[in-house]
Structure formats: structure tokens, C-alpha cells
Structure 1
Amino acid sequence: MSRFFRSSDTESDSDTSSDNDSQYSQSDSEYDSDAESYHSEAEEEQQPKNRFLKGGSDSDDSDDESSNKRQAKSQKDKRIEEMETAVKAIENGQKNNDWNLISTEFDKLTVAISRATTGFSAIPMPKFYIKTMVELEDHLTDSLQKDKGNKKKPSGNSKAMNNLRQKLKKLAKQFDESIAAYRKDPEEFMKEEEVEEEPIAAPVKKKEILTQVAVDGKDDGFSSVGKGGKTVIPLSSENVLVRLREVLESRGKKNTNRDDQIATLEALLANSKSSFQKISVLLALIASRFDITASKAPYMDLAVWKASAIEFNQLLQVLETNKSFVVTEDAEDLDNDDKDVVPKDGEVIKLRGSILSFVERLDDEFNKSLQNIDPHATDYIDRLRDEPALYAMLDRSQFYFEVNQIDFALPRIISRKLDHVYYKPEQVIGSLQAASKQLLPNYVVSKITNAEDPATFVNQLCNYLYKDNSSVFRTRAILCHIYHYALHKKFHTARDLLLMSHVQDSIHQADIGTQILYNRAMVQIGICAFRDGLIKESHAALSEIQGSGRVKELLAQGVQAQRFGQPANPEADAMERQRQLPFHMHINLELLECIFLTSSMLLEIPAQAQAGPNNKKFISRPFRRLLDYNERQAFCGPPENTRDHIMSAAKALASGEWEKAKDFILAIKVWDLMTETQEIKDMLIRKIQEEGLRTYLFTYCSYYTTLGLAQLSSMFDLSVNSVSAIVAKMIFNEELSASLDQVTQCIVLHQVELSRLQVLSLQYSEKVANLVDQNERLTSNGRDNANINPNSNVNNISSHNHTHNSNRNH
């Protein structure tokens, strides 16, 4: 039988064998019972009861309780013991010259002292803390003097020494009187004062404390207590700087309530009397408002932004009225011992701060808000109304930098101002300047940009940035200037500035923001050329961007949608969205596409008629692709969108029906978005008539021997002189084999019959062109997989093309 069931077996055996128990005598049973009781009492004396049983206890606990009685220590004794432990560790570190240990233990000691000397159960400042500070300072001075000649010092140890020296220097200002008393007579200073211990009172509830404070409206020796049991010093003009230092020390720490900090700083600002106090509090308050914006929030809250803008203007006003104070980034920390600073006559006191970073942050948050607000809602318009206030702050900051000769900040401010005006018409720029000027004092007048005329004002901004040493500012100024010229229909000026600057040669090395600005400038040049009737120039400027198929991304007006199967990249998407331009800066993409396709139509249709139906060459690949797709449709209904109108106009123009093409083009509603709508439509009618005439001549010249100028004039509603000029230009460019008879006012067409060799050469050249097309496709798919040598093909193709061209000329 298993031993684990022995007890149960014995119990069963005792039950079943009750009859056999009678063999034992009664004396034996009594003896056995006495023996069992004796053994049980002995075991109980040797082995204590289990602690989990009622009235039981553990052996270890009973031994501890019997040998060592628990001693209750007060909170004060625990803190003093903690301090003494830290002091002993500091003394050991001094013996071993371990400054890392000393610095760590001194931090612990300082924290313990701070906790012990504040709150309800506050104790006086322990004198051994002053003694430890003085001894540490003396020992640190000796160690630094010894280590002056030693060049191979441990980097960690020296860093700890420098940090500890800074801490001791800061604390020496706080306890200067105690340190001076200790150095004067250490023995007298260290005599402990006999302090009568007050009996420990019963704990008082919170309601009782409030009742005691509020009795008869008197303090009765009580003081206000803030969060964490710290005594709150009431605000006054004398302790503004002390409270400000406390707020700055708690800034950025864990579990710090930023809203409470801002409320405290606002109260400090209300109690500030001197200029130094106002400047110090405003610098901290504006920075704290920037901190309150959550990192995950897309932009700063509008109420916080407006409050920051008001305080920023207040800061500039104090600095402008008190020329003795200058806020710069390169100023050293002012050692004023939390006391007010009053400058002497003619003295200039520099305070550490950054006006530039404040105004740039306000500008960035303004743009972020415009990026994230729905542009079709009224909130977007309401937000745009804050732009004059922001522009006024930029003007005021520029004036401050000019007066105080802070030259490094001027290019950045002027570049920000240029970003706000370069894309706007002159009337809007004038309104912005007038609105911002009303928000500024009369004495704020810039010497660099003081022109009232918007065009001259933009020139002043750009010319100042041209002289800057930074290539980034120069490049952006050039592109903004080009955009502004093109916007105001100065195509040739914008084109010449672009060509002379050679920006296009190095734009691929610029940052993404500058590349986006370059794309916007090129698009605006193309639109300007179209408005001037320069179709070829417009197509050349727009072809690269429109042909890419990524117009939204290149102009920062949208984010490319993720293709099916591609993994999403949250970081890339976030960066892409941060670069998006606000809606009011967008270029109308539908208008841009309409201009590009119209220009392509006016160039492609005559060129296709000249080359013949079997020609594979094209001027505009996107237009040719759309036209082929439209022609392959089994059923073509009436045009519904911009593309359909242009494709229908292209087919009508190719068949010689210029009036029908004109109706399709003029039916597009996008032309109404342009400022000079009627001028654009008149230009389009004239271009359609001219290109219709050229297409007609290219298509039907082989069927006529002569054509009358008057007949062509009536067919295309052009003057005879215009028809004559167009035909003469075609003859001069060798596009048309004909001669112009001025006597009879006719066009004499020359029928040129090709020889057998020329026909074969043309056929051969077409086959070679097909081969080139196939070669380009294989190369784009992968040159390694194609297993071809493209260099030999290119050489052969170029020689065949040369032969073909010579035959055609012959």
C-alpha cells in the first residue's frame, strides 16, 4: 500500500478492528493516554503554533518580537537619519576622490533637506548641511588646483566636479549668510540650540484647518499651503522674481501642471512693476504657452495663439519704450540674485531670449492651423483675418532688429514677410499693408522696406535677400520674384530672371520646400505665357510637371493616395502633410490642366496633319494618349468635363471645322476664373483660326494646285493680310511647298513626286522609328533583362535618320 494513504488505512483498520482492542488492559490504555499527553505538551513547548492558526505565531516572528522590540520613529528622525547617511557617503567619497558618488549623494542630501524644511512638519535648516557645503567647496577647490597640470583627467570625474561646482555656486547665493557665519566661527555656529519639543498633536482634518484659517478673517499664524504641502508665498511686487525662479525651475519636470504655471505667470505679470520684471515674466509666459500645446495636436489652440500674440506685442512694446534692455540670443545669464535690475544712465543690459524664435513659432502655428482647418468652412476665413496681426508682428520684429542691429535675424524675418506676399496680387498686398499698419505704433517704420507701392515693396524685399550670404535665402527670393512677375503678366521679365539665375541647374540639390517653390514658379510662368498668347512657351513650361502625373504632390497641394498592395508609411505621410500649402495659396489644377491641354492641341493637331496619319512622333505625350483613348471609344457622347471639351475640339480642328472647335473651347467654364476672361477668349479664337488654317493647308495641299487668299480668308474669318502672313511663314520654314503670287492673290502649290528611292527611304525610316520606340520600351523595363546593346542601335538609328533627312531635303 502506498505510504500516502497510510493514515487513512490506519483509520479504517481502527474502525474495523474495534473488537481486537479489548485485548489491551485498562491499565495499558491509561498508561498510553498519559504518555501521549506528556509528549504532546512537550512538543507544544518546543514547537510554537502555526501563525495561521488562531492564537498561533511563527517561530521567527516570536523570536524577533521577544529579542528586539519594534521602535516607532518619527518622520523627523527618519529624515535626519537619511541626511546623516548621505553625509557619511559624501565623506567616504572625499577620501576616495570619487566625485560621481559625491555629486549623487549631495543631490540626495539636497532633496532631503528641501523636503524636511517645507510643509507642516518643517524643521529648521540643519547646520551640518552648511558645514557639508563649505567642506565640499574647499575640497573641490583644492582638487581643481591639483588637477590643473594633469591633462589626462577622467572625463566622467571632471564632469561631476564641474556640475557640483555649479550647484554649490548656486546654493551659496541662497545661504550666503549662514556660510559666512560658519566660516567666521565654525564652533560657535555648530552649537545646537535647545529647542523645546512640542507635544505631538492629534491629526487635524482638512475642514478643521480651513476653519482655523478663516476664523474672523485673520490668519492667526497660519499660511497658505499649496500642492504637495509646500507653503505658498503670497504674490507681491517684491517677490515676483523669486516666484518666477520657482516656476522656471519646475518647468519641464514630471507631473508639473502647465495650466497652473501659466496662471501663476499671468498673476506675476499683473504684479510686475518694473520693466525688468515685465520682460522676464513675459519671456517665460510666452515660452510656457508654446509648451502647453500637446505634441500630438496638429496646431496650437486659437485662443492660446491669440493670447501669445498679445503678450508678444506687449513684450516688444516694453522693449521699444525701454532702450536700456535688449533681448538677444547670445546674452549671458544675468546674475541678479532674484533682485530687480535698474540700469544706469546710458547702460544697456542684455537679457537672454529670442524674439526671432517667438515670431517664427507664431508664424508656423498660423500656417499649421490653415493646413488643418477645412478650407470650405467659415473657420478658415475667420483664421485668415488674423494674417494682418501676424504681418504686423513681423514688421515690428524687423524694426526691433534694425534698431538694435541684430543683423543675423533680419534675413529670416524678411524671408517670412516675402512668403506672405509673393503669391498675392498687388491690390491684396496693399490691403494687407494698410491693415497691418493700423495695428502698429507710428514710430515703427522700417528703413529697409519702406515703399508703399506693392511692386516696389516686393522688389525691396527680394533685393535685400539677394545680398545675403546664404544661398537658401537668395534662391527662394529669386523664385518668389519670378512667381510675382509671372502673376502680374510680365512673362519676359520672369523668364529672363530665371535664365540668368541658373536656378534650374542646381534646384535638385535644394531642400524640398525650395523645390516646391520652383515648381510653382514654373507653373506660373506657363500660365503667364498662355495669357500672353505664347503657346509654345506655355507648353514648354508646363510639360514637365503636367506630364509627370503627380501635379498635386509636386505643387504641395495634395497627398498621393497609396496604391493597392503598397505598405503605408506613417512617418512619410506625416512629413508630406506638413509640407502642404494652405488652400488660399493653391493654384487651380483644373485651370492648369485646361491650359496645358489647350496648348497641346494647338501644337499637336497641325503637326500631326503635317506629318501624316502614320507618324509616330508627338509633341505632347499626355495629349496624344488622351486623344487616342478618345478615338477608340465606341460611342462618344456630348462633352461633360474639361478633357472631353478639348478632345472634341481637337477632332473638330483636325477635320477643318474650326468654328465647331471654337464652340467647344469657349464652352469650358474654367476660363471665367481668370482675371482677363474676354481677352483670353479672343486670343483663343484667333489661335484656333490660325491653327485651323495651317491644319487645312497641311491636309489638303496635295489636292490643289492653287488656292485663293480671299477664299481662305472667308473660310477662316481672317483678313487677307493675316492669311498671307501665315502662308509666307509656312513657306519660309519649309513647312509648305508652295509660292505666293501677289499679283493674282493666290497660293501656287508645288506637287513634288517622290522617287522610288525616296519612298523606300521613308518606309525604312518609319520602321527604324518603330524599332527605336520598342528599344526605348525595353530599356525602360530593364536593360539587363532585355539582353540587347542599345549603343549600336542608337548609332545605326542616327545614321539612318541622317540619310532620311538628306533624301527629304533633296
Structure 2
Amino acid sequence: MSRFFATGTDSESESSSEDEPVVRAPAPVYTFSDDEEETKRVVRSMKEKRYEELEGIIHSLRNHRKIKDFSSALASFEELQKAYTRAAPVVAKEENGVAPRFFVRALAELDDWVSTAWSDRDSRKTLSKGNSKALTSLRQKLRKYTKDFESEIATFREDPDLPDDDEEHKDTSSSDESDDEDKVKDKPVSVRRSPEPPRRPPPQDDESSDSMDWGSSSSDSSESSDGENRGDVMTIRAKFYKKTTEKEGEEERDRRKAKRREERRERSGKISKKDQADDGGEWETVKGGKGAAISDKPKMFAKDSDIDAALVVKKLGEISAARGRKRTDRRAQLELLHELRTVAAQHNLGDALQLKLRAATVAALFDYNPKVSDAMKPEYWSRLVENVDQMVTLLLAHEDMVLSEAFTEEQEQLVTAPFRVRGCLLTALERLDDEFTKLLKECDPHSNEYVERLKDEVRVSALIDRVCQVVERDGSPQEICRAYLRKIDHLYYKFDTRAVRKDLPPGEETTIKKMERLCKYIYAHDETDRLRTRAILSHIYHHALHDNWFQARDLLLMSHLQETVQHSDPSTQILYNRTMANLGLCAFRRGNVKEAHGCLAELMMTGKPKELLAQGLLPQRQHERSKEQEKIEKQRQMPFHMHINLELLECVYLVSAMLIEIPYMAAHEFDARRRMISKTFYQNLRASERQALVGPPESMREHAVAAARAMRRGDWRACLNFIVNEKMNAKVWDLMVGADNVRAMLGRLIREESLRTYLFTYAHVYASLSLRSLADMFELPRQRVHSLVSKMIINEELLASLDDPSECAILHRSEPTRMQALALQLADKVGNVVDSNERIFEKQGSFFQRGGQQRGEGRQRGEGRQREGWNRRTRNRRRDDERGDD
């Protein structure tokens, strides 16, 4: 007998052979025919085939989305359309014509991806030509194709977290496959195996016979041989024996599949009645969503654990530790925090722990948005407002509860009063307010969505008021200043109609009084210049909005912000520009034309008021602005409801410049050293004068230029008609508060400045002027005409004297006539030309004369050098001779 088939040592094998003969089973013999193979046939339905085809195309589509391959995505989408057309009979039969959920999910995801790519203009510019065309075609075809599935997509978007129908389909298909496999196994196959040899009976409590267990095919034999007899050699028969049978492996696979199906049903929260009947147990139907029934001891804790505040805080630390890590499911974090908060409420662990969990939820909601520059989704922003509001409610309900960043985790007190919780309510409020501003800037300002989103400002303002109450109770003066500034930011640009009412009850607080109270606290307690500067600018803006011109002007002059504002941050500079623009409008409404022009000149002369007021970006040429700078500037833009009308600003600036510039031009018509008061207005006027044919004005700027030309002629009626008419009223003047008063003020100013222009232009024609005639001509009161003429005489603008008995202005003809002035100008110009020609001739003549002199001087210098050399040689010779004599 060969020793290769022995399991022990040589001596053991010999002794065992002597005791009893060993009967070895013959090796199994497998016989295959040429045309027979071991194959498995799986019978699949038409539904499985069509759905598998759709899933394969959807999988390729998702891969194309990851690499942003729009060309391949377009081709896959066309294949998906054809595949769904082939699957339409199956869908009509199995799903009653309703598209399967996994197909609807794919369409919704593709639509979101295409919409995001289309809205990102910067990324579209970087695409290749093929990808750009493919994106356009894909967008058009997708929008046309999804019209047939609008109801299914809308239903899917209401609750996208529900599982797809294909999961149940996969479960049933897998079970069908296993059943089919069993059926196939029952059928005779082409493999024929010899009958299995009889196994040796197990030993009866004999330890010495363990090594002779020939029939064991499990892992026990290998473990015993490896663990107990490490020095033994594994037999060839044991080495090549199959460890588990096919039947055992199939049973293990079936158990794993059943376990996976059960886990999926538990996650989806739905258990079918058929499964209940098959399992024979009583199951409780669980509804998904907010109303889900959660057991007293959820899976995040052990069954026999005693849930208390320390355990919940420890679990909170584990959940929060995953923040910021790669591949962290942010939505799952929010669900875990909600579940943890529910468990804490069920076990009555106290409001302090609820406050801590709310603060963690707020932080997780902020983390849900991966890009800081993008706006948060509206539904998550609403959840954010609810959580912050609940935090404020808890703090206001408990005076002995303090939420502060000054506390460390070791100093927290969550069980007994006084409660101390680590966190910062003010920071959460500031970020919430910033997210609200981003949401407004993301919406189309001319759509109903913007109006609906703007309604949430009432919630934000109410929440800021409540936070101010908490901060006033528990916060430091600097934190109170920060909270007040947030309140001021939502208040300073709003017009309060109660402020102009005279029948207002004495105890009621208007926005002007509230702004004064908040700003004065910041003036007194702010430790940083930034908050104080912003408070001053907001206070000036609010005063100017309500036509409190003198208060706004005095506050601006006392603050000296004009000298230091260029060193401030960009947002403060934008606020300064907005304040100066509104201050200029206030001055114009009050009739202070020079002050209005001075406030608006610096803003309008740059030609970029839209950018300076953060109300939009102008297109740049030659890459003056990089993409990074453009992205940063877009983040600084103001929401649409806070914009200042740029056309109104330009009209006020041009009218103010007209009322100042035209009389000045008439007074210094022949002065060569005349300066320009408004360069922008002067350029527009000169461009209009250079035109050969001037038609009727159409735009607001053309109306202002036509009015200036009429005023220059002294025609105040035409000037007033160009400035105040139905078109200008609708576009400009009706936008102002007190539009009727503004129009009356404009008529008065135009008549007065037209009178001054008339006197400057035609004074040399008259020997005397009747004040009554001037009053009738310009429809002004006689006292006002007398005042204007007297002022011009005092300022030496008009060489005249007043005769009170006759009410006339006697003009002194010391000024040259128009012909004389033009002759003098011509004489000056001719004299300048003659002087310049003489200077040129002198330069040319001196050049030729200087050339001859240079040649003579050079000859003289050469002769001098020769004489000096001859004298030096003569002296040297004499010195040598004298030495030789010595």
C-alpha cells in the first residue's frame, strides 16, 4: 500500500493497517460527451429584458455626466428614447402606462444636470465646439421629450428620496432566477457522475481515531489537522476534496438575498402583506417621512443601553466628527440629528440638550451647501429658519440658559441649572441673513418667484428682533452692536409713511426714531470702526430718504467719511456710494441744485454708476476683468428691491448741471479761460450742437440737452416742456416722493435760471430794463425778480444799478458788444499766431548762425592748442640746457 494516502506518520499508518483493513473509495469519474456542456438556462420575461436595457443606458448616461461629456450624453439620450419606445408595450401592460420610477429619476437628474450646465455661463465658454453644440441640442431635445412626463417628474420631485420601483423588480427577478435555477437543477444535465462511495462511520468517542476520519468533507478536518497535527502532511485526497457542496452554497446565496431584501424593505419603511403572510409573524407598517414611528431605543444605541444626556452628547460628537470629511452624506447627517433630537425629546432629557442639538442641526444645514458662493436651496433655508427660531424660543423661555462661544465643552452644563451651552446664535443669524440675500439674487427680479421669496423678509426681520432680545439679555456690547447692525440693514432703505404724518400718536415709534436709537448705541459702544461707519452711512441714507436734508448733511460733514472711505472694505464703499446718490436726490427734491450736483458728480462722471452702486456689471473689453474678479463682484451685488433707479439719477444730474452750466456759459461766453462745471453735460451739449439735423428728443438724455438749448435762448417755456412732460413724468418724476412738489420746484428754478441767462446774453442791448416787464415775461413775482437782479449786481455779474422809484435796472455800457467781443477774440488769436511764427523763425536763424560760430571757435581752439604745445616744448628745451650747464 502506498504511503501517500496515509493521514498520520509511518508508524501510525502501519499500526492501523494491522488492526483492520482500510477500504478506500474509488475516485469519482466524470464523463463528458463532445456535444454536451455544463450550462444554466435562465428564463427571463420581456419586462426584465426591456428594463435591463434601459438601466444599462441610464448607467452610461450617469458615467457621461461625471466627465461632462455632452456629445456622448446626447447619443445615449437618443438611445434611451429608442429603448423606451421599444419598452412602451411592456410599460403599458405592467405599469398601466405610467413610466417606471427609475426612468423618471434618470430624466429628472439629466434635466437638472443640463439646466445647471446651461446656467453656468463661465463653464459654457470653456467647452469645446462639439460639446457646446451637443449641450444645446441635448437641452432642446430634453425639454421637448420631458413634456410627456411632466406629471411623473413633478410627483418624483415632491419626494425624491423614495426608492425606485426597480429595487422590488430586482428582488422578484432574483427570486425568480433562484427558482429557475432550482428547476434547472432538477432537470438532468449533461454531466454524469459515478455513485458516491460509502463514507466511513464516525468514531465512537475514540480520540485516537480522529486522524483517520476519511469521510469528513467540512472544514473541521482541515482545522484539526492544522491546529493539532501541525507537523502532519496534508493528504492529496483531503487537499483536492471540495469543501462545500453546491447545494450548501446556493442556500447561502439565498439567505444573503433574503437578508438584503429585508434590509431594503426596512429602509424604505414598507412591508408587503405577502411577506407578512410568508414569514408568519406580525409586522408593524411603518410610514416614511416626518411621521415615522421611532422606537424608544433606536438602532444608533444598543438595546440594553440607558439613554441619558451624556450618551446623547457622545453620539452627537460621533455624528459631528464626520463633518467636512470626504464622502460624508450630509443628508444622512441631518436625518441622524433629527432622530437624535426625537430620542432626546422622548426621554425628556431637557431643553438645554435640545438647544445643543438644534445648534448642531443648524451647522449641518449650513454644511449641506457645498459651495459658499451658491445659494442654499429654499426648502433647506426654511428648515434653517425654523431651527434658529426654535433656538430663540428656548432661550427666551429660560432666563437661566445661556448660549455662548466662550464656553468650552468641559464647561457645558446641560442637566442642571444654570444651563450653559456652547454655540453662537448671532453667527447663525448673520449667515442665515446672508443666505437669504443669496436667494434673492439668484431669482429673476421680474418674476413672481422673486415676490414670493421677498415675502420671507418679514420672517427674517421678526427673527432678528427676537435675537436682539436674547442678545440684549445675555450678550456683550459688541454682540449687541452686531445684532443692531443687522436690524439696521433691513431698515435703512425703507420709506416710512408714518414719519411724514402729522396726526401720529405721540407714543408710537417711527423708523426714524428707531434708527436713531439703534445708531446711537453703536456710536457709543462699537469697538471697531467698520460697524460705526456702516451705521453712520445707513443713518444718513434714512434721513435723506425722508427729506431730512440738513440732518443728513450735518451728519456726513461731522463724520469726515469722505477722507477715509477709500480705505474701507468694498461693501462699505458700495454703501457710501448709495448714500451719496440718495443724498443727491434729497438735495434736488429740496431745491438745492448745487449740492445735488456736487453729491452726484463724482458718481456720474466715471460713467460706471451701475458698478459703483453694485446693481450690475458692464461688459468689459480686452479682458479687463478676470473670471475670478467677476465672480467676486457678482457676490457683492445688491438685491433688486434695494436698487436705485439709474435713469432717475442721470436725469437729476443732467438737470442740475443744466441749471448751473447754462447761466455760467452765458456769463462767460467770450472768456477763453472758462472752466467746465460738468464735463459729461458739456460733452453731450457739444455733440448735439455738431449735428447737422437735430430731430425731436426721444431719450431722457436728449430731453435734457434740448431743454438746455432752449434755456440758452431764453425760452423758458420750451425748456420746461422738455423737462416736465408726460413721458418724463412716467419715467422719472413720478418715481419721487412728492412728485407734484418736485415738478413745481423745477418750474420755478427753470424760470429763475432762464431769467439770469437772458440778462447775461442780452444785457448789452438794453439801456434799462423794467422789473415788472421781466416779472411778466418769466411769470415770476416782482419781489423775486428784484432779489435776483440785486444779487447779480452785488456779485458783479451784471453792471447795472437799480432805480426803485421807476422799478428799473439801469445798465452801464462798459461791456463790449458782441461784435466788439468777437473782434477782440480774433485779434488775440492773430497775435498768438504771429508770436508763434516769430519764435519759430528765431529758432531756425540762431541754428544757422550758431553753426558758423562753432566752426570759427573750433579753429581758434586748434590754433591755441598748437601755440601752447610749442611754448611747452620751448620751456622744456631751456630747462634741459640749464641742467647741462650746471
* Distance in structure 2 (CA, Å) of the matches to 1:765 and 1:382: 70
Q: Does 1:206 align with 2:256?
A: yes
Counterpart check, 1:680 vs 2:742: yes
The answer for the alignment partner of 2:785 in structure 1 is 723
Instruction: Please say if residues 466 and 474 of structure 1, whose CA atoms lie closer than 8 Å, have aligned partners that are also in contact.
Output: yes
1:437-477 CA distance string (max 9 Å, x none) = xxxxxxxxxxxxx9732211110111011012211111111
In the alignment, the residues of structure 1 paired with residue 262 and residue 809 of structure 2 have an alpha-carbon distance, to the nearest angstrom, of: 115
Q: 1:332 to 1:429 in 2, by over 3 A?
A: farther
**Matched residue, 1:585:** 642
Gaps of 5+ in 1: 1-198, 220-229, 431-449, 771-810
Match of 1:331 among 407, 410, 415: 407
Structure 1 match to 2:470: 400
The aligned residue for residue 712 of structure 1 is 774
Percent identity of equivalent pairs: 38
Unaligned residue ranges in structure 2 (runs of 5+): 1-242, 264-275, 284-297, 501-506, 834-886
Shift of residue 523, structure 1, vs aligned partner = 1.3
Kindly indicate whether the alpha-carbon contact (under 8 Å) linking 2:414 and 2:420 is maintained by their aligned counterparts in 1: no
Report Cα offsets for 1:495-534 as digits up to 9, x if no partner. 1111111111111111111111111111111111110111
Deviation of 1:256 after TM superposition, in Å, equals 1.8
- 1:268 is aligned to 340
Q: Out of 442, 459, 463, which is 2:520 matched to?
A: 463
Q: Distance in 2 between matches of 1:767 and 1:396?
A: 79
Residue 384 (1) aligns with residue 446 (2): no
Q: Deviations over 1:749-790 (max 9, x none)?
A: 1001569x99999889999999xxxxxxxxxxxxxxxxxxxx
Contact 2:493 2:545 in 1 (8 A): yes
Q: Is the 8 Å Cα contact of residues 462 and 478 (structure 1) preserved in structure 2?
A: yes
8 Å contact from structure 2 (residues 356, 422) kept in 1: no
Which of 379, 382, 390 is residue 306 of structure 1 equivalent to? 382
TM-score of the superposed pair, with normalisation by structure 2: 0.57
What are the Cα deviations for residues 83-127 of structure 1, in whole angstroms up to 9, with x where unaligned?
Answer: xxxxxxxxxxxxxxxxxxxxxxxxxxxxxxxxxxxxxxxxxxxxx
State how far apart, in whole Å, the 1-side matches of 2:829 and 2:681 are. 22
1:345-384 → structure 2 map (5 Å cutoff): 347-384=417-454
Q: 2:771 touches 2:782 (CA, 8 Å); kept in 1?
A: yes
Q: How many residues align?
A: 537
- Which residue identity is paired with 1:207? K
Q: How far is 1:246 from its partner? A: 2.8
How does the TM-score come out when normalised to structure 1? Answer: 0.62
Equivalent runs, 1:142-157 vs 2, <5 Å: none
Structure 1 letter corresponding to 2:258 = E
- Alignment-mate amino acid for residue 750 of structure 1: H
Instruction: Say whether the 8 Å CA contact 2:352–2:421 is kept in structure 1.
Output: no
For the 8 Å contact 2:498–2:510, the answer to whether it is kept is: no
Q: Tell me the equivalent position of 1:554.
A: 612
Residue pair 1:527, 1:595 contacting (<8 A) in 2 also: yes
Aligned alpha-carbon RMSD (Å): 3.2
Task: Write out aligned runs for 1:543-692 (5 A).
Answer: 543-563=601-621, 565-566=622-623, 568-612=625-669, 615=672, 616-667=674-725, 668-669=728-729, 670-692=732-754
Q: Please say if residues 649 and 665 of structure 1, whose CA atoms lie closer than 8 Å, have aligned partners that are also in contact.
A: yes
Letter of the 2:519 partner, please give it: C
Give the SS at the match of 1:421. coil
1:527 to 568, 579, 585: 585
In 2: Cα distance, 1:210 partner to 1:366 partner: 43
**One-letter code of the match for 1:500?**
M
- Offset from partner CA, 1:405-429 (integer Å, 9 cap, x none): 4333111111111111011112499
Cα distance in 1, alignment partners of residues 373 and 558 from structure 2: 44
Judged with a 3 Å threshold, the aligned counterparts in structure 2 of structure 1 residues 611 and 768 are, in CA distance, closer, same or farther, namely farther
Q: Secondary structure at the residue paired with 2:737?
A: coil
Q: 1:237: how far off? A: 5.7
Q: CA deviation at 1:350?
A: 2.1
Deviation at 1:614, TM superposition (A): 6.0
Separation in 1, partners of 2:607, 2:768 = 46
Change in 2 beyond 3 A, CA 1:549/1:746:
same
Q: Aligned pair 1:342/2:415, yes or no?
A: yes
| Structure 1 pair 684–561 and aligned structure 2 pair: CA distance change class (3 A) | same
In the aligned structure 1, how far is the partner of 2:411 from the partner of 2:299?
26
* SS at structure 1 position matched to 2:698: coil
Note the C-alpha offset of 1:628: 0.4
Structure 1: how far apart are the matches of 2:831 and 2:430?
A: 60
Change (3 A) 1:420 1:270: same
**Corresponding position of 1:439:** none
Partner of 1:351, secondary structure, is strand
Which residue in the other structure is 1:745 paired with?
Answer: 807
* CA pair 329-769 structure 1, distance change in 2 beyond 3 A: farther
Which one is further off, 251-260 or 685-694?
Answer: 251-260
Cα deviation 1:578-615 (Å, max 9, x = unaligned): 11111111111100100010011111111111111564
1:501 matched to 2:559: yes
Counterpart CA distance in 1 for 2:661 and 2:793 is 19
Aligned-residue offset at 1:262? 0.8
What is the Cα deviation at residue 386 of structure 1? 0.8
Contact 1:451 1:457 in 2 (8 A): no
Q: Secondary structure at the match of 2:490?
A: helix
Q: Does 1:489 pair with 2:565?
A: no
**Secondary structure of 2:355's partner?**
helix
- What is the CA-CA distance between 1:241 and the residue it aligns to? 3.9
AA matched with 1:524: N
Q: Residue 410 of structure 1 corresponds to which residue in structure 2? A: 480
Q: Would the aligned equivalents of 2:414 and 2:421 in 1 still touch at CA under 8 Å?
A: no
Matched residue SS, 1:707: strand
Alignment-mate amino acid for residue 474 of structure 1:
R
Return the letter of the residue paired with 2:734. D
**Distance across 1 between alignment mates of 2:639 and 2:696:** 36
Per-residue deviation, 1:306: 0.7
- Are the equivalent residues in 2 in contact too, given 1:334–1:351 (CA < 8 A)? no
CA pair 766-298 structure 1, distance change in 2 beyond 3 A? farther
Q: Is the 8 A contact 2:670 2:821 kept in 1?
A: no
Alpha-carbon separation, structure 2, partners of 1:381 and 1:261: 33
Q: Partner residue of 2:325?
A: 253
Q: Which residue of 2 aligns with 1:288?
A: 364
1:315 matched to 2:377? The reply is no
Structure-2 separation of matches of 1:486 and 1:413: 24
Quick one: structure 1 residues 310 and 714, their matched pair in 2 at CA, closer, same or farther if it must change by over 3 Å? same
Over alpha carbons, which structure has the higher Rg? 2
What is the SS of the residue equivalent to 1:747? strand
**Shift of the alpha carbon at 1:617?**
2.3
- Verify the 8 A CA contact 1:411 1:465 in the aligned structure 2: yes
Question: Aligned equivalents of 2:744 and 2:261: distance in 1?
Answer: 88
